[in-house]
Amino acid sequence: MVEAIGAMEGRTCVVTGANSGIGKATAAGLARQGAHVVMVCRDGPRGEAAQAEIQSLTGNPSVDLLLADLSSQAAIRTLAAEITRSFESLHVLVNNAGALVNPRKETADGLEYTFALNHLAPFLLTNLLLDILTASAPARVVNVTSGAHAMGRMRFDDLQARRRYRALGAYNQSKLGIILFTYELARRVEGRGVTVNCVHPGGVNSNFGNSAKGAFAAMFRLFKPLMRSPEKGAETVLYIATAPEMEGVTGGYLVDRESRASSRRSYDEGLARQLWDVSAELTGLDDAPRPA
C-alpha cells in the first residue's frame, strides 16, 4: 500500500490490541502517515516495547500508550473516560483486539471471555466514544472481524456458552456479532459524519491462537508460516481508516481493500437489533443512539 507521509497529520487514532500482530502494524502504519496514535494494550511492558519500536521505526514521537484489559467493562469505562479527558478529538477508532479462547473462561464480569472481548468490548467502547467521534467528524470506526463469521450463529439461548462451549463456535459467533454491530451502528449514526466499517484481514501470521488449546488452535499454528504478514493483514484496516476514497463510505465489509458481501445472516436487521439490545443490557449501556 502506498502511504502518503503526513497524510494523517492532525488526526488522532486509537488502536486496540496495538502491541502485536495486525494492531501493531496498524498503529505503525498510522504513525508513519503522521497521525497521533493512541495504542491501547493490556500489558505495560509489552505495550511500552511496541510503543518504542513504532516511534523509532516511523520517526513519529506522537505515539501514546493507554493500558486496559478490554475483557473488563470497568476497564473499558475508565479507558473511554481517559480518552475523552486527555484528547481534544478522536478521528479514527480501530477495534482490533481479539482472541480465540480455549478452554472456556469467564471475565471479571462473569461473561464468556470470547463474546466479551471480541464483541461486547468494541460495542461498549465505541458507544462510550461516540460523542467525541461525532464532535471530531469526519471520523471513522474500523472493526476487525473475520471471514470465520460466515460459520457463526447467534445462540441467544446460551450466549454465555454455559451448557456447551466450542472455542471455534464462540469465536465465529463473536465475529458475526461485530459485523451485526457494525451495520447496526452505521444505520444508527447515519448523517453524523461517523462512518462504521469492518474488515477481514486474511489469515495472518501473528500471535493469534498461540495461547489457545485444542485441535483448531494447533492446526492454525501449523499453517501460520504460510499466512500473510501482519503488515499485509493491516493494509485493509489502514485503507478504511485513511483512504480519501473511503470518506463517507459506511456499513461495509472489506477484504483486500474491496467491498465484499458478508454472510446472509449478517444482514438480518432483526437479528442486529436483538443483539444490540442484549449487548446494551449486558454492558449496562442506556444512552446509546436509537434507530433513526
Ligand X SMILES: NC(=O)c1ccc[n+]([C@@H]2O[C@H](COP(=O)([O-])OP(=O)(O)OC[C@H]3O[C@@H](n4cnc5c(N)ncnc54)[C@H](OP(=O)(O)O)[C@@H]3O)[C@@H](O)[C@H]2O)c1
In the annotation, is 171 catalytic? yes
Residues 16 and 23: their CA atoms lie apart, in Å, by 7
In the complex, what is the shortest distance from the CB of residue 3 to ligand X, in angstroms, rounded to a whole number? 19
User: Which cell goes with 89?
Assistant: 478529538
Residues 7 and 40: their CA atoms lie apart, in Å, by 22
Report the residue number, 210 or 291, with the smaller CB distance to ligand X: 210
In the complex, what is the shortest distance from the CB of residue 173 to ligand X, in angstroms, rounded to a whole number? 12
Burial of 182 (0-12, 13-18, 19+ CB in 10 A): buried
| Helix residue ranges, H only, 87-120 | 113-115
Is the backbone of residue 264 left (phi > 0), alpha (psi -120 to 50) or beta?
A: alpha
Report the residue number, 67 or 135, with the smaller CB distance to ligand X: 67
In the complex, what is the shortest distance from the CB of residue 235 to ligand X, in angstroms, rounded to a whole number? 13
Report the residue number, 133 or 204, with the smaller CB distance to ligand X: 204
User: Which cell goes with 69?
Assistant: 484489559
Binding residues for ligand X (CB under 6 A)? 17, 19-23, 42-43, 46, 69-71, 96-99, 117, 144, 146, 200-201, 203-204, 206-208
In the complex, what is the shortest distance from the CB of residue 136 to ligand X, in angstroms, rounded to a whole number? 23
> Which one from 113, 171, 183, 253 is the annotated catalytic residue?
171
Question: Angle 167-188/269-283 helices, nearest 10 degrees?
Answer: 100
Residues 70 and 73: their CA atoms lie apart, in Å, by 7
Report the residue number, 207 or 274, with the smaller CB distance to ligand X: 207
Report the residue number, 210 or 269, with the smaller CB distance to ligand X: 210
Sign of CA dihedral 61, 132, 39, 66: positive
Q: Is the peptide bond before 61 cis (omega within 30 degrees of 0)?
A: no
In the complex, what is the shortest distance from the CB of residue 205 to ligand X, in angstroms, rounded to a whole number? 7
The catalytic residue positions are 171
